[in-house]
Chain A
Amino acid sequence: SQKIEQNSEALNIQEGKTATLTCNYTNYSPAYLQWYRQDPGRGPVFLLLIRENEKEKRKERLKVTFDTTLKQSLFHITASQPADSATYLCALEDSSASKIIFGSGTRLSIRP
């Protein structure tokens, strides 16, 4: 069956450290993968999109990698800040149905 898994339900790290979140998928062949941020009681906000032919993508303190062999994406926040505390969702498109499916999310907490 098709699955998108974000292994850590919650992650707590010290301010200034690099946060690394993992997204694994099975039985999908996505053309691209996306990462979103969601704050409590709000809709998700798009952060980054990485295509199947891209190994790495960066945006300011954010970095995403995409390994189609391992079927895995890693999401990094460098020099983390308490304001980065939120739930982060990975999502990929089911190309056969043109719809985006979300992982379960990782709740990231950055302590001062």
Chain B
Amino acid sequence: GAVVSQHPSWVICKSGTSVKIECRSLDFQATTMFWYRQFPKQSLMLMATSNEGSKATYEQGVEKDKFLINHASLTLSTLTVTSAHPEDSSFYICSARDMGRGVYNEQFFGPGTRLTVL
């Protein structure tokens, strides 16, 4: 149980285009999903916290108009990188919390999406 999927697993796009990444909790409901970005040999940096039915909370320095997050249901959150540029190339990872597991619950991570902007 507690599986999180991401789609696509990798994407290559031209500079200036927009890319949408989906994050799904497959066998549990997630009121909260998190989006992280990871550059090579670096740790995960939290970009935003996504709550179902409300606006995402962005970390300092993350442009909300560039990284659009939608959490329309308890099993789906999407991250859209708008007008992507080469510096947006990174590994994007989502995670979800299982709302049924109580206070001390771990996050379940998706497999990540490798974005390359040419």
Contacts and interface: CB of A to CB of B under 8 A. Distances in A.
Given A104-B42, A104-B43, A43 B104 contact: no
Interface stretch (B64-72, B75-83, B109-117): B109-117
A46 B107 contact: yes
Contacts of B104: 31-32, 49, 51
A43 B66 CA distance: 23
A93 to B, nearest CB: 9
A45 B104 CA distance: 16
Contact of B111 (A36, A43, A46): A43
A43 B112 contact: yes
Interface residues of B, number: 21
B39 to A, nearest CB: 12
A19 interface: no
A46 B2 CA distance: 11
B112 A41 contact: yes
Contacts, number: 47
B63 interface: no
B93 interface: yes
Nearest to B42: A104
**B interface: dominant SS:** strand
Range of interface residues on A (Cβ < 8 Å): 20 to 34
A71 B44 CA distance: 21
Contacts of B107: 46, 100
A101 interface: yes
A28 interface: no
B106 A99 contact: no
Given A49-B106, A51-B104, A100-B34, A89 B112 contact: no
Interface of B: 4, 6, 32, 34, 42-44, 46, 49, 91, 93, 95, 104, 106-112, 114
20 contacts: A31-B104, A36-B109, A41-B112, A41-B114, A43-B109, A43-B112, A44-B93, A44-B109, A46-B106, A46-B107, A89-B43, A98-B49, A99-B34, A100-B46, A101-B46, A102-B43, A102-B46, A103-B43, A104-B42, A104-B43
Interface of A: 31-32, 34, 36, 41-46, 49, 51, 89, 98-105
